[in-house]
Amino acid sequence: MSEDENLSFSTRAIHSDDNNAKNVFSDISPPLHVSSTYKYPVSYNYDIGVRKGVFSDPDELRKHIIGLNINSEVDTADPHVYSRYSTDTRDRLETVLGSLEGGHATTYSSGLAAIAAAFAFYQPTRLILPHAGYFGTHGVASIFRRSRPHVQILVLEDFLETYTDFGAGDLVWLEMPQNPNGEIYDISAFRERCKNGAVLVVDATFSPPPLMYTLELGAHCVMHSSTKFLGGHSDLLGGVLAVKDLETAQKLRQDRSFLGSVMGNMEAWLLLRSLRSLEVRVTRQSESATTIAAWLASPPQTPEDVKPLSIVAKVYHATLQQPELLARLNSRGSGVLSVEFISTEHAFLVCNRLRLFQNATSLGGVESLIDWRRAFDDKVSGGVCRISIGLENVEDLKADLRRAFLEVKDALKSESEKKINVQSI
C-alpha cells in the first residue's frame, strides 16, 4: 500500500490520488477528459523502435528527432496512448478504489463485464455458484461454459455441509450479502477451504467498504457493480475487480485492453466524484435499513402499525438473521433489505402505492427504490419485494411504507369481501 494507508477511510476517498504521477492538475475537483486518443511524446516511436531492435543505427537516427538531445536520456515515461489502455480519469479512479479496498482495482464497463472478466482471467474448470443470488452471474456463467463444455457449474449450497476443501481449477463465487434476501457467509472459513489452489471471488456489491472489507476477510478477488452503492446516484454503469497484489491487477488490465470492456471517461469521472461521499452515504443507508428492517420485523408497538404491518410475513436483513456472523466479520448491515408479503398480490400492489420509494430496479442510490423480484427472477417467491434504502429521512420512509401497506390491505380486503358477497347470492 502507499503512504496513505494510515489515513482514515473518508480521507483516503478524497486524497488517495493526490500523489498520482498523472495528477498534475491544479483543479480541486478532478477534471473530466473525454479524448479517446492522445498525441505521442516526441520520444514514443523512437523508444519502441529501440526496444524492438528495428533501427540499424539508433544513435544516428536520434540526432534527427526534433526535441531530443543526443546526450539526454530517452523519455521512458508511460504516456497515455489510447483510452482503451489508460486515461487520466480512470487511472485516478482506480488509485482511489484500490486504496479503499486495501488492494488494487481494475474498472469495467458494467458489473456483468467485471464478472465475465473474472471468469476469463481465472479460467476455472469448476464454477461453484450459489443457487440463489444475482441472476446475471448465472447468465455469464452459462455463456462462459458455452465454448467450454468441460467446465462444471456446481451449486454452492451442496458444499455448505460437507466441509470438504476446494482445489485447483475451482472458482468459488459468493455474494455478500446475497441478492435478494441478504444471506452472508463466513469468508475466512471459505478462504481456508480454498487453500489448495481454489480461487475465492466475492460479489460485495451490496456491502462496499466501509460496510465490509472483503479482501481483508480473505477473498482473492472482490467484485462490485459500481452502478450501485459505489456510484450511488443512479447515473452511471460500471464494474470493479479488486485484488491484493499489483501483478494480478496489471494482468487484469492487460486482459481488459483486449476484451474491450473499459469504463468510459464520463462514467469514470462520475464514479470518482461519488467516492468522495461514499462513507457518509453507505453508513447512513446501512443505519436506516437496519432501523426499517427492525421496525418491519417487530410486533407492532403502536395502534397505527397494527393493520399495515399485518401484511408482512417476513423481513430479510443480515442484522436480523445473522447478527453474530456480521459482528464476527466486523461488518455492518447493507442498505438493502427484502420483505416477503402474505401474498403475491400484496407484494405486487405495494410497489405501486408508495410515493417516496420509486418502483424501479437497481439499488444503492441516494433515492429509495422498491422492486417486485419475481419480475426478474423466477427462483424468488412472488411475495418478495427488494427495498433499497436511500438518504431520505427514515421516519418519512416508514410513514410512506405504513400508508402504502394500509392502502393495499384495505383494497384487497374490500375485493375479498365483494367476492364473498357475490358467491353468497
Q: What is the pLDDT of residues 137-174, one digit of tens each?
A: 999 999 999 999 999 999 999 998 887 899 999 999 99
Residue 360 scores a pLDDT above 80:
yes
Residue that finishes a domain, picked among 276, 300, 330:
276
Q: What is the pLDDT of residues 77-99, one digit of tens each?
A: 457 889 999 998 999 999 999 99
Q: What does the DSSP 8-state code read for residue 205? A: T
Q: What CA–CA distance (Å, rounded) separates 170 from 56? A: 50
Q: What CA–CA distance (Å, rounded) separates 381 from 75? A: 62
pLDDT number for residue 5: 66
pLDDT number for residue 162: 82
Residues 103 and 187 in one domain: yes
Beta-ladder partners of 358: 369
How much of the chain exceeds pLDDT 70, in percent? 92
Close Cβ partners of 58 (under 8 Å, ≥ 6 residues apart): 46, 49, 50
Residues 223 and 351 in one domain: no
CATH code at position 285: 3.90.1150.10
Q: Residue 254 — pLDDT band, cuts 50, 70, 90?
A: very high
- Domain-embedded: residue 56: no
pLDDT number for residue 416: 66
Q: What CA–CA distance (Å, rounded) separates 42 from 65? A: 8
Residue closest to 131 by CA, chosen among 110, 157, 161 = 157
pLDDT number for residue 33: 85
pLDDT number for residue 9: 86
Q: Helix, strand, or coil here: 407?
A: helix
Residues 297 and 382 in one domain: yes
Q: What CA–CA distance (Å, rounded) separates 35 from 33? A: 6
Residues 284 and 263 in one domain: no
Over residues 239-251, mean pLDDT: 97
Least confident of 40-44, 123-127, 238-242: 40-44
Residue that finishes a domain, picked among 276, 307, 339:
276
- Domain-embedded: residue 87: yes
Residue closest to 297 by CA, chosen among 266, 318, 281 = 318
The full length of the chain comes to: 425
Residues 119 and 31 in one domain: yes
- Domain-embedded: residue 211: yes
Q: What is the pLDDT of residues 258-314, one digit of tens each?
A: 999 999 999 999 999 999 999 999 999 999 999 999 999 999 888 899 999 999 999
Residue that finishes a domain, picked among 276, 292, 312:
276
Determine contact, residues 15/24, Cβ cutoff 8 Å.
no
Domain residues for the domain of 371 are 279-424
Residues 415 and 288 in one domain: yes
Determine contact, residues 30/117, Cβ cutoff 8 Å.
no
Determine contact, residues 346/314, Cβ cutoff 8 Å.
no
Residue closest to 337 by CA, chosen among 301, 374, 286 = 286
- Domain-embedded: residue 205: yes
Q: Retrieve residue 83's grid coordinates.
A: 483510452
Over residues 59-83, mean pLDDT: 66
Over residues 318-334, mean pLDDT: 96
Residues 146 and 221 in one domain: yes
- Domain-embedded: residue 46: no
Q: What CA–CA distance (Å, rounded) separates 204 from 223? A: 6
Q: Residue 2 — pLDDT band, cuts 50, 70, 90?
A: very low
- Domain-embedded: residue 50: no
Residues 288 and 250 in one domain: no
Residue closest to 272 by CA, chosen among 26, 78, 31 = 31
Residues 171 and 302 in one domain: no
Q: Residue 226 — pLDDT band, cuts 50, 70, 90?
A: very high
Residues 86 and 203 in one domain: yes
- Domain-embedded: residue 45: no
Residues 323 and 345 in one domain: yes
Model's pTM, two decimal places?
Answer: 0.90
Residues 121 and 27 in one domain: yes
Residue 74 scores a pLDDT above 80:
no
Tally the domains of the chain: 2
CATH code at position 248: 3.40.640.10
- Domain-embedded: residue 62: no
CA Rg value for the chain:
25
